[in-house]
Structure 1
């Protein structure tokens, strides 16, 4: 599997666990007791029951308690006032910048006044030929304001970096220098870029591996069961060994030294040196930046109609993985694609620029552009 070719959303069949037959929880219908058969029907009519002559007046005499209404606290009122103040200030700046006359909605009750104002500005933005979807009402530093939204397109690629190839390189004397150089790259991805590691329980792929292992335990009669179990054991043992090596921060300390002392003898050396140089340059210019620095957050858009839970999280398509070949990974990839087909969108690096009545500079995605390109080149080296 090539990370640059594995596209999210392919309709592939996934392994599904066999389910046992569901039995009904409803008991059988029992026959009536025998002595009820001998009971004869009473032919005498029941006495007629009539409402009291004053029943209609009784309803009018009833007194109903009023519906209890929760009164807003002083804190609620203060937050409501601050929210409206921030909103209309930002609305004024946005109207000024795009030369739009907003509807007067201040006299309506909260929050209808804000909803009506958003609907109005959304409609009038069409006259300026601006795409409304590029704007968001976000909350930052406990204040809400309009902002322009710009997103870095990552495509439908699984950015999975395999561990097993590097493990095999470390055991090969002819590739020892290459492996040490790439070990520094892995250390950067692990410690600085914060790429999830599949052997950590809070990672998405850890759960995927666990799920497939449970399926294998329930179905051990498969033709490739021995291969699956062998790959499972390798993914765990090699994954734990390599995490220990990557965790060693000395690999990051020796990054520049290894890069300067590396000698290029063939095309493979050239590719390793190129990707290591790219990683080191990113690390030097962005020493504390993680790949999730511009991850979109649901808290940033309190009035959005989109459900952020329906989006594919960035941590799901960026990760270390055991390997990107073999039967085990093919099944994992199929299940991931099947799951991703259930989502309506995917999270991508996003920058929100506040609208303050002045010209807005284009968002700077220099880090993301270089990082994802480096990830693709790294995967090509390892496969």
Structure 2
């Protein structure tokens, strides 16, 4: 296996501090998670050399990242410098065409390696100002000696848990005054369940399913009488979860989505908010009829990263409730695990400017979906 050595070009005075997910009792639009800082960080003086002992996705198995510019001052043969410069300016033209067609300055008169350093600095500043979700720029060299730029775009999920509670929705169906709004939100949640592919906590392949199973085992091993109410809470979570999933499973909720929106006449602020969220969800469903939340998951195919990464499937899910003893216990369990992780998986798009066709993928879907999930969480938690 060939190893990849990575360097970030130049200094990063605005480097982000590490962030971790934090789970607390829900009081905001999305539940935040508490933990020590565990998310990847960027060294303000440029990232030091690191090596990978796992397969790198997206064809980077044999990519070597060039040293930061101080190390590039070493003497190189004229032919090697000429090739690096030729490849670099070709890649630079590609990145300029792709991102808003900006015109980079002609830096060739500055001489190697300062010409490349200046161009990289200019591109970074342009992308930082004009490209939403832009995260980093890397100058790399593949195993054939070809030099090119890689741009990384990433949606920042922050320190949020996107946990959608379903027991409040179940209670809305049992209340005559909120039953109409419940049907509207059922279509929203059906979209999130079927199309966005958000895990459901009653399915065995869901991370939260096993969290609840673990809590159930703890309860069974404790003979204290006061735990009876906790057992009841867990049974309610299971029973209500199954009932709501039966409703969600019917795709008729998607077929009549538009009809429900059209027929709904809000009578108060809560119903007005339900209608607003439903309209946003239906528009997103119309614009992206087959797009899942995990389409740009960064580590989706890297099973060896599991123990180090807070996977998206762990912090995006339907759950039973966002209040009470069960949620507090779930939050504590999640925090304990996430504290051991060093990275947070987030939607990421890598674009290679090496002469091949550049992907037109972007994170517009994520820019609309995650705020929608947050609004649904807040509405159901605070209903």
Relative to the length of structure 1, the TM-score reads 0.65
| Residue in structure 2 matched with residue 7 of structure 1 by the alignment | 32
Distance in 1, Cα, partners of 2:353 & 2:236: 52
Structure with higher Rg: it is: 1
Q: Give, in angstroms, the shift of residue 369 of structure 1.
A: 1.1
Closer/same/farther in 2, CA of residues 91 and 164 from structure 1, 3 Å limit: farther
Is 1:346 the counterpart of 2:344? The answer is yes
1:226-278: CA deviations, max 9, x gaps?
22101110111111111111001101100000000000111011010011111
Name the structure 2 match of 1:160.
163
In 1: Cα distance, 2:336 partner to 2:225 partner: 21
Does the 8 Å contact 1:2/1:324 carry over to 2?
no
Give the one of 90, 96, 104 matched to 1:96: 90
Task: Name which of structure 1's ranges 192-201 and 368-377 shifts more when overlaid on structure 2.
Answer: 368-377
Mark the CA change 1:90 to 1:349 in structure 2 (over 3 Å): closer, same or farther: farther
Distance 1:260 1:136 in 2: 52
* Runs (5+) with no aligned partner, structure 2: 1-25, 37-60, 64-79, 94-111, 125-134, 143-147
- Cα–Cα, structure 1 residues 359 and 195, in superposed 2: closer, same or farther, change >3 Å? closer
Question: Which residue of structure 1 lines up, in the alignment, with residue 292 of structure 2?
Answer: 290
- Kindly report which structure 2 residues correspond to 1:18-97, keeping only aligned pairs within 5 A, or say none: 93-94=87-88, 96-97=90-91
- Pairing of 1:70-149 with structure 2 (within 5 A): 93-94=87-88, 96-98=90-92, 128-129=120-121, 134-135=137-138, 147-149=150-152
Kept in 2: contact 1:311–1:346 (CA 8 A): yes
Change in 2 beyond 3 A, CA 1:298/1:381? closer
2:218 maps to what in 1?
215
Partner of 1:328: 326
Does the Cα contact within 8 Å between 2:30 and 2:375 map onto a contact in 1?
A: no
CA distance in 1, matches of 2:149, 2:375: 38
CA RMSD between the two structures: 3.7
Task: Tell me: CA distance 1:262–1:124, structure 2 relative to 1, closer, same or farther (3 Å).
Answer: same
Cα 1:90–1:175 change in 2 (3 A) is farther
**Structure 2 CA distance for aligned equivalents of residues 237 and 138 of structure 1:** 56
2:232 counterpart (209, 230, 233) = 230
User: Contact 1:147/1:355 (CA < 8 Å) preserved in 2?
Assistant: yes
Q: d(CA) in 1 for partners of 2:311 and 2:296?
A: 12
Conserved? CA contact 1:3–1:157, under 8 Å:
no
Relative contact order (C-alpha < 8 Å, sep 6+): which is higher? 1
Q: 8 Å contact 1:94–1:357 — kept in the other structure?
A: no
Q: Any stretches of 5+ residues in structure 1 without a counterpart?
A: 12-81, 100-120, 140-144, 301-305
Contact 1:90 1:146 survives alignment (8 Å): no
Query: How big is the shift at 1:7?
Result: 2.1
Q: Using a 3 Å threshold, how does the CA distance of structure 1 residues 373 and 90 change in structure 2: closer, same or farther?
A: farther
Aligned to 1:107: none
